[in-house]
Chain A
Amino acid sequence: MAELATSLRRGTLEFCVLAMVEHEDRYGTEIVRRFGEEPNLAASEGTIYPLLSRLRRVGWLDSKWAESPSGPPRRYYALTSDGRSALTHFRTEWVSFRQTVDRLVGTSEPA
């Protein structure tokens, strides 16, 4: 069952990350803590950082270090325009994907 969760997470988690910085920039620890609160997505917090790194490398996220008022410097992440397009594209794909799976697996909401 842990493997199933891992498979489901793969390919979707990154878009949850993109959506999290859609409206405002957030720093790493903030993003990671937010995922810690979601049991379905609760990968160990440390596994989010390699994901953030990849999303930055492919140009979907931008990052910059900034001083924090209450502690060590923070690395803030922002959605790039490529990241925004990727998220929009994912939303369309996800809806039709979800509907297809629901129909085939029999998990559709009764109409």
Chain B
Amino acid sequence: MNTKNTDVVAEYLHEVDVRLAGLPVLQRRELLADLAAHIASERAERNIQTEGELIEVLERLGSPDVVAAAAHEEFGPVTPPPARRQFRGGWLIAAIVGVVLVLLLCASAFFVSSSTESPAQMERAPAPAPSLPVPAAS
């Protein structure tokens, strides 16, 4: 009798599992574990002996179709938003990286130009300074 009862439960859980196809594996596992724990609690706390009583427990849980439909409703629409959020996060990161790159480019351009100009001025300054600026000033 006990193995027969276990068979009913195993069959029920299997039927639910089949209908959970497409949901993330951890959420499937979690739901099956919750249902199994529920059935085990009911058996222990209501002292269920017969298969008929066990089937009543399963009927109160709902048909595999109904339970799986609820799971799809809870988990199905929930999956796209995190994906979209990640996507938006990706854009944000890309934007930040872009801004940083532009800033780096500006900074390096500024640095390169100033570093190429200033030593040149420094080098040239002492040499042409006496000849060129003097006529310009006078």
Bind each other? yes
Q: Give the size category of B's interface with A.
A: 20 to 34
User: Quick one: which of B27, B41, B43, B70 contacts A46, CB cutoff 8 A?
Assistant: B70
Binding site for A on B (CB under 8 A): 16, 27, 30-31, 34-35, 37-38, 40-45, 60-63, 66-67, 70-71, 73-75, 78
B40 contacts A50, C-beta separation under 8 Å: no
B35 contacts A49, C-beta separation under 8 Å: yes
Given contacts A52-B34, A71-B44, contact A47 B62 (CB under 8 A): yes
Proximity bits, A14-44, B CB within 8 Å = 1, else 0? 0000000000000111001000100000011
B37 contacts A73, C-beta separation under 8 Å: yes
B71 contacts A44, C-beta separation under 8 Å: no
Q: Which residues of A contact B44 (CB under 8 A)?
A: 68, 70-72
Q: Give the size category of A's interface with B.
A: 20 to 34
Beyond A29-B37, A46-B16, A50-B71, 9 additional contacts (C-beta under 8 Å) are: A43-B70, A44-B70, A46-B66, A47-B66, A49-B38, A51-B74, A68-B44, A72-B40, A72-B44
B31 contacts A53, C-beta separation under 8 Å: yes
Binding site for B on A (CB under 8 A): 27-29, 32, 36, 43-47, 49-54, 57, 68, 70-75
Closest to B76 in A: A50
Q: Which residues of A contact B43 (CB under 8 A)?
A: 71
Closest to A57 in B: B78
Q: Which residues of B contact A72 (CB under 8 A)?
A: 37, 40-41, 44
B70 contacts A51, C-beta separation under 8 Å: yes
A64 to B66, CA, bound (A): 26
Report the 3 A-B pairs with minimum CB-CB distance, sorted nearest first. A44-B62, A71-B44, A47-B70
A36 to B60, CA, bound (A): 8
A44 contacts B38, C-beta separation under 8 Å: no
A47 to B38, CA, bound (A): 12
A49 contacts B40, C-beta separation under 8 Å: no
Q: Which residues of B contact A32 (CB under 8 A)?
A: 38
Q: Which residues of A contact B30 (CB under 8 A)?
A: 53
Q: Which residues of A contact B78 (CB under 8 A)?
A: 54, 57
Q: Which residues of B contact A44 (CB under 8 A)?
A: 60-63, 66-67, 70
Interchain nearest-CB distance for B79 vs A (Å): 11
